[in-house]
Structure 1
């Protein structure tokens, strides 16, 4: 009987999902999450610094100091890379704005809901986020809509344009 056959593998392959693209990495099972983030930057050329990344597995955000092994992440698991971004949201007809930190993988609707909840904005579902004069679709992912670090958005009352 081979005693080594009961030992967990020293290395494993993970699938990395970022902005609709997939890549794979072969890494040691005992790798800390912060080290996985650095490898994602270096080996996969994802242009997001490790401190701006958030890794998620099956909807759970992974803590930097823990390892893949701590989370019992199996080989060939898919980790999603989200980027923390800060946006300014100006209120309609006002110079007043809110600063929100969100993930680029959130939808426009999720950003609106967060804003409504955190700032107690009434009737948020009848408002739209506008960027550069264009209304953003609530179902669009922020990165796909072009929302990135430092973007300025305007929260305005929805008007049915024909």
Structure 2
């Protein structure tokens, strides 16, 4: 007897505003899952700003749930892509990034180092109203939202 995967799965979607369950055909492309999220679940994240993640892996729009072997009753996390500005110290050099709010502060710093060659050693990201941001915290947990202005500054605690 051959085991055939189910044609549909009951997927639970988690996002910063709660959770919802939706019956989704396994052959559905990720981009179409995002459309279902917007139209059926009415989650207030536009399709072009959604990032879906399963077990820490970001899902590509052109692939299907079946391509990822997502099991029935799986949990998918919906992250939102946000634009942030990073200023070096307070000297006015500015970098703008569109990233999803599920990455960590440390991953954002590493992105700055890799893509711009900025030295991040002994430096922290700081945000007005929130202060120093924990490198291990996801952006959404650290309070980093669309349009946030972050400053890469010397870590006074390590000096």
Q: TM-score, length-normalised on structure 2? A: 0.85
User: What are structure 1's unaligned runs of at least 5 residues?
Assistant: none
Give the total of aligned pairs: 156
Q: Distance in 2 between matches of 1:76 and 1:50?
A: 23
Alignment partner of 1:79 is 2:55? no
Q: Distance in 2 between matches of 1:89 and 1:17?
A: 28
Alignment partner of 1:96 is 2:90? no
Could you report, residue by residue, the CA deviation over 1:54-101 in whole angstroms, capped at 9, with x for unpaired residues? 112233322222222233222112222222222110111311101122
Alignment partner of 1:132 is 2:119? no
Could you report, residue by residue, the CA deviation over 1:29-59 in whole angstroms, capped at 9, with x for unpaired residues? 2222111112222333321111111112233
Change over 3 Å in CA distance of 1:112–1:6 after alignment to 2: closer
Alignment partner of 1:52 is 2:30? no
Alignment partner of 1:61 is 2:58? yes
Q: How far has the Cα of 1:24 moved from its partner?
A: 1.7
Q: TM-score, length-normalised on structure 1? A: 0.83
Alignment partner of 1:70 is 2:67? yes
Paired position in structure 2 for 1:39: 36
Of the two, which has the highest radius of gyration? 1
Alignment partner of 1:147 is 2:144? yes
Task: Give me the CA root mean square deviation.
Answer: 2.3
Alignment partner of 1:121 is 2:114? no
Q: Distance in 1 between matches of 2:121 and 2:16?
A: 26
Q: How far has the Cα of 1:116 moved from its partner?
A: 1.8
User: What are structure 2's unaligned runs of at least 5 residues?
Assistant: none
